Structure 1
């Protein structure tokens, strides 16, 4: 299959493009930044570039991972988010469904960030006494910044175009898989690797799993038509844990993973005192047929195999 991957120079693209090529696909990478996996240097906001990329390469599948992301909120104005994340998505969708277009499937990389309102973000400060259980049925969606607003708007465009054209479209709301430290790191006392390990309990996945999810979505799109999925490592928690997760999370974690304290103690690591949200990815398992290959139990096993030797974060594959 001829597949157009936008954002091919980015973190997802670096992991996705080689896997698609290994699977026998012909991949055309589009990104405004030159890179090893980028064939066309340009922006999705430029309609002629998008049109040429699709038509000149007889593109059959599109993975739209290119976007301005949350860190760009500090460096780009709102109009740039609308241009790239909203207009850029519309450009791709409309060119994909133009007369004579060979495109027969579309995968959109969205984000769980658009599900986090100001109320959820500040839950602990506001005295909320239970963690939010977040799945695809959660409403209303009230993104707290222009990044979330632009991605939610792009999701609406995906549904609108699907409804009008029947183009199969899969929306993947990915949890955190970026290598950078969390932008709220100043509020967290754990090291970067410690923080990321903790997050596999409720809001993280590896870049490798993010890439695999997109490949599965490409394959399943014609059968599913349209759907939206949260993609995150399966959580061990249940909604019944929500109150205690907000009260004192280490007790809940210890109940599921009795050895975690011993493994963490060897590194001087700690668990978050409070977990204010949990992403439930069981719909992706049930309907998309996708489960992340790495979860918190796997992280503990990896750490345990190091026999108590503290490894730099750069040597920890799931933390970079």
Structure 2
């Protein structure tokens, strides 16, 4: 298929474009910033441009990974988030319907699931880690990023219901390479490693999931899928995870504390949320390859860590 890939110059786009091509698709990259995989410079908020791209390139399907993200909150006003994340998604949906498309893959975020209550350890109405799967709600995004991504998700569902277009909504966990923009209490590598226990995946796994979703979309019809490394924990451990995460980790990985000490790292003393990606495995047929065990194995053997870390990375400017 001739696939329009938005966000082709972004962190996910640079991994996704070659994977789509390897799967046999002809990829047309769209991004406001130049990049190796970007063919058209411009914004999804520009409806006239979107219509030209569809007509000029004979677009047959869309993978919509372009967006303003949480770190962009300090760089752009709220209106820019609405323009790109909401209006841009609407433009693509309308153009896809007009072109008679049968599928669209939308990159969403687990961030829209996080409320202040979850961050305080009260996500399930009790003092325990929040167990987050696709049934979790009500959703109360805490910033303009989450609000606009949730609005875009609802547009996707509306266009599936009204027009029958298959839409795969992929709520990705963390896969960014840069430092965390709110937590600096540990080394960046240490933070990322810890997050593989319940809220992170590699960018390679995120890209692979999009390729699978594109292939399965017409068969599934509509689906919302959380994407994160498989958690080793069980829902019944949620209370102890918040109270004494290290004891829970030790049960699953007896040598984790020793391996971390050797690396000069610190295991989390509490975990306030776990993203359960089981639905994606059961329905979409996708499971992330890299998990916390892979991180520990790299520490154990001296191999390279199985995830990217680049403190200097910044997403391309509009």
Both proteins in one fold, TM over 0.5: yes
- Aligned to 1:319, what secondary structure does the other structure show? coil
Over the aligned positions, Cα root-mean-square deviation in angstroms equals 1.5
CA deviation map 1:116-151 (0-9, x unaligned) = 012112337xx9621000000011000000000000
Please give the TM-score of this superposition, normalised by the length of structure 2.
0.94
Gaps of at least 5 residues in structure 2 are: 310-318
Q: What corresponds to 2:52 in structure 1?
A: 52
Of 284, 294, 298, 1:298 maps to 294
Q: What corresponds to 1:312 in structure 2?
A: none
Q: What corresponds to 1:84 in structure 2?
A: 84
Determine if the alignment matches structure 1 residue 24 to structure 2 residue 13: no
- Contact 1:194–1:270 (CA<8 Å) still a contact in 2? yes
- Contact 1:58–1:102 (CA<8 Å) still a contact in 2? no
Determine if the alignment matches structure 1 residue 276 to structure 2 residue 265: no
Of 174, 199, 204, 1:203 maps to 199
Determine if the alignment matches structure 1 residue 97 to structure 2 residue 86: no
Distance in 1 (CA, whole Å) between partners of 2:149 and 2:258 is 41
1:18-167 to 2 correspondences below 5 Å? 18-98=18-98, 101-123=99-121, 129-167=127-165
After the TM superposition, which segments of 4 or more aligned residues of structure 1 sit over 6 Å from their partners?
none
1:280 Cα offset (Å): 0.4
How many pairs were matched up? 308
Distance in 2 (CA, whole Å) between partners of 1:259 and 1:232 is 23
- Contact 1:108–1:171 (CA<8 Å) still a contact in 2? yes
- Contact 1:193–1:316 (CA<8 Å) still a contact in 2? no
Of 230, 247, 263, 1:234 maps to 230
1:317 Cα offset (Å): 4.2
1:258-277 to 2 correspondences below 5 Å? 258-277=254-273
Please give the TM-score of this superposition, normalised by the length of structure 1.
0.93
1:241-256 to 2 correspondences below 5 Å? 241-256=237-252
Determine if the alignment matches structure 1 residue 289 to structure 2 residue 285: yes
- Contact 1:61–1:104 (CA<8 Å) still a contact in 2? yes
CA deviation map 1:170-210 (0-9, x unaligned) = 00000000001111223x2x211111111001000000000
Q: What corresponds to 1:192 in structure 2?
A: 188
Distance in 2 (CA, whole Å) between partners of 1:5 and 1:247 is 43
- Contact 1:105–1:169 (CA<8 Å) still a contact in 2? yes
1:102 Cα offset (Å): 4.7
Gaps of at least 5 residues in structure 1 are: 308-314
Distance in 2 (CA, whole Å) between partners of 1:16 and 1:243 is 37
Distance in 2 (CA, whole Å) between partners of 1:244 and 1:37 is 45
Q: What corresponds to 2:316 in structure 1?
A: none
Distance in 1 (CA, whole Å) between partners of 2:230 and 2:22 is 27
- Contact 1:175–1:232 (CA<8 Å) still a contact in 2? yes
CA deviation map 1:57-105 (0-9, x unaligned) = 111111000000000111111111101000000000000001xx15221
Determine if the alignment matches structure 1 residue 179 to structure 2 residue 168: no
- Contact 1:196–1:319 (CA<8 Å) still a contact in 2? no
